[in-house]
Chains A and B, each alone.
Chain A
Amino acid sequence: MVSTSFTPIASLVGGALIGLSAVLLMWANGRIAAVSGIAARLFPPYEDGEFAGRLAFVAGLVAAPMLVLFVTGSLPAQTIAAGPAVLIVGGLLTGFGSVWGSGCTSGHGVCGLSRLSARSLVATITFMATGVATVFVMRHWS
């Protein structure tokens, strides 16, 4: 396990940026900033003409660290402890579950909770609970 330091100020500021992004998307496109929904719709079946916009949003997500690297000359720490097998299983479950449940941490956790959606509250409590349970099993039962 890699220990990390508690960063309340940076996390509040970064969180506010995420919120600002979600509000901007609502203002510009009238849509919820749900990363799982945006990413999933990059694959067929296509139901509307929003593909280019979704691709641009995802390109922005991917470009963010490059901008940070360009401006500051370095990237913040990123520790991915999981091996290939765990990454594949984790990725499959994350992709499947976020689409099956109509959203992930951004769609339900941020956007849904701020709209006081009961569905999003149930979803957020559920993924927090299974996330905590999974880490507990992985770290403390072995």
Chain B
Amino acid sequence: MAILVQFVVGLIFGLGLIVSGMSNPAKVLNFLDIGGISAGTWDASLAFVMAGAIAVTFIGFNRVPRRARPFFAERFYLPTRRDIDPRIIAGPAIFGIGWGLAGFCPGPALTALGFGSVSAVIFVAAMSAGMVLARFIARLPSLTRFVTPADPLET
């Protein structure tokens, strides 16, 4: 049952990406293209996607964690770190370059697989390799001496 619910949650997320137009990298790139503001080709849609999503999560994330526990889990797993470390700037800086190159971030890239696009398969394969590499490097002993926790996903 919990598995089925997570499938439906992913399905709703994917439908949101499609309805909002974010499954189309051209729309994402046209948002990031500030040179298009004066040229009249700028597409502000992505800002509206963020606004629509945050409006719902702002209310939902305020209410839901007040419950005793999640429906299918023992407790809530909310990020607790508050420090601004080098990684919270370096990681997104690298991610943003990749995002600007192809117009895909991880969610839309995975949804694009369902469009049957070969380009999406290439991108997702490379993205997966990048993810595995980042987790591997983060776990190298020489790095864990300076950076805690070892796994960036744990924050």
Question: Min CB distance, A106 to chain B, in Å?
Answer: 5
Contact between A30 and B27, CB atoms less than 8 A apart? no
Name the B residues within 8 Å of A118 (CB-CB): 82, 84
Chain A 32-65 per-residue mask, 1 if CB under 8 angstroms from chain B, else 0: 1101110111110101000011101111111111
Q: Are A33 and B13 in contact (CB under 8 A)?
A: yes
**What residues of chain A lie closer than 8 Å to B110, measured between beta carbons?**
35, 39, 58, 61-62
Closest CB-CB distance, B39 to chain A, in whole Å? 10
Chain A facing B: main interface SS: helix
Number of interface residues of B (CB under 8 A): 119
By the criterion CB–CB under 8 Å, are A14 and B21 in contact?
yes
Closest 7 CB pairs of A and B: A101-B91, A60-B10, A14-B20, A64-B14, A15-B52, A95-B130, A91-B126
Interface positions of A (Cβ within 8 A of B): 1-8, 10-33, 35-37, 39-43, 45, 47, 52-54, 56-68, 75-82, 84, 86-102, 104-106, 108-115, 117-119, 122-124, 126-136, 138-140
